[in-house]
Amino acid sequence: MPRPTRQSPERGNARIRLLEAARDLVRAQGFAATTVDDLCRAAGVTKGAFFHHFESKDALGVAAAEFWAETTTRFFEAAPYHDSPDALQRVLDYVAFRKAIIVGEPAEFTCLAGTLAQEVHASAPAIRDACGRSLFGHTATLEADIDTARRERGITGDWTAASLARHTQAVLQGGFVLAKAGNDSGLARESLDHLDRYIRHLFHIAQDAPT
């Protein structure tokens, strides 16, 4: 999942400001390295305000993953990749859109839910599960277009729409890891080129397919 780095208009809301601070700090430095003091400082709120809204740092972690799911859902619903009348084109436009928004620093374009899950998978199951709902809730939004494209084009390969939708997310998440390890956002875009080529092969529209 991507982006949303813009700050909410309702800057008066301490809870939202803390969730935005968590989104940005955790993507930059991870969850364990981000203290409650860091979050309060970034959000411009007191520690009292923090514990008024969240009973613990872990509760803030769960809420941050849920806030990520809500904001990215709105972001993707408004994105232009839904516009084509052709279902396969919408799937390819999704991949192109994901590639187009990989710009700037990793802390800006990478996924809060993936980063959080990577870190807390064994130590904070409630946060991990909130991350899972965000990631897999997003992949589920791709399934209808993939299924329609399969039907429209008579594709009968031994793979499902749900599985290909999850694979798009795996390629994105892995591309983010490579971009971070190599300090080069081009590494994430490169893997989306492979994903685009894979989908074209699955639907038999690849240019280097046998003739």
Which residues, including other chains, have CB under 8 Å from residue 135's CB and lie 6 or more apart? 1, 111, 113, 114, 117, 169, 173
Residue 206 CB, shortest distance to its own copies, in Å, is: 7
Based on the shown chain and the rule CB under 8 A, indicate whether residue 109 belongs to the binding site for its own copies. no
Residue 130 CB, shortest distance to its own copies, in Å, is: 10
Cα gap 54→76, rounded to integer Å: 28
Based on the shown chain and the rule CB under 8 A, indicate whether residue 129 belongs to the binding site for its own copies. yes
Q: Using CB under 8 A, which of 14, 30, 42, 141 touches its own copies?
A: 30
Q: Which amino acid is at 67?
A: F
Residue 46 CB, shortest distance to its own copies, in Å, is: 24
Residue 151 CB, shortest distance to its own copies, in Å, is: 16
* Helix 57-77 with 125-152: angle, nearest 10 deg: 20
Based on the shown chain and the rule CB under 8 A, indicate whether residue 210 belongs to the binding site for its own copies. yes
Dihedral angle, C-alpha 187, 193, 199, 201, nearest 10 °: -120
Question: Coil, strand or helix: which one is 12?
Answer: coil
Q: In this structure, what token pair is assigned to residue 34?
A: 């981000």
Binding site for its own copies (CB under 8 A): 28-33, 105-107, 113-115, 117-123, 125, 128-129, 131-132, 135-136, 155-159, 163-164, 166-167, 169-178, 180-183, 187-188, 190-191, 193-194, 197-198, 201-202, 204, 206-210
